[in-house]
Structure 1
Amino acid sequence: MGKRKTVLIVDDSPAILDALSAAFEDAGYDVGEARDGEEVFRKMAALDPDALLLDIYMPKINGTDVCRLVKAHPHWKKTYLVLMSSRLSDKELADYRRLGADVVLRKPFDPAEVVAAVGEAIGAPEPAA
């Protein structure tokens, strides 16, 4: 049996963190949370997540800079990356894809749809023993 599928959710909104964390946990994923851009890197090192769900507008280090740093890191550059924001123009969507985001989501969204999309990309978690 291999490593369990893990997602790291980064958002400064407790409501978004709670909703996404609950949806991913209910689907069988291991979940980590971070509330700002600085905390991301400690959590990435500790969890080695399969997917990173990242709010763009956060305190300390914004999601755009985190995206650049994650995609430049030799070990993390292949981590499936979902950027999220309620404020996105069509040009920004294209820019974030060029930065390395696999998916860019506009808030609000249905957490179950996010879980399904991530599951398609990284695979469903193994059932608990």
Structure 2
Amino acid sequence: RLMGGDMRIIAEVAARNEWWQATPARREVQQTLLAAPPAHSWGDHTGMDDTACERSVRERDVRDDLALALDGSIEMKSPAGFADVVTATEVIEVKSCRNWKHALGQVLAYHAFMSDKSKRIHLFAY
């Protein structure tokens, strides 16, 4: 719908971006999310090309670290399947950046059964 020019979605994205830019803790949250992954869970990627590196990072490791950082629950069952991370306010699907289309479909399906929560896709590209 966004590609087709659905103006409501474009307006919602713009409003959320404006809210995010005004959030006082924005920098702290960004730094936490962008911090280097713990070496014990994702390993050393020295000397690896991008493709090998991406394959070495497992979705479940990213999911678990994100759930821990956000105080969320993992693999929450719904009629549409198992949502990667569910917090008090969000349903989150975690995927490698190359699989963003799959994440989009999944988060929309989960949201149909958790409409009180915001939809969120967390992509990683290590």
Instruction: Provide the TM-score with structure 1 as the length reference.
Output: 0.32
TM-score, normalized by length of structure 2? Answer: 0.32
Higher RCO, 1 vs 2 (CA within 8 Å, ≥6 residues apart): 1
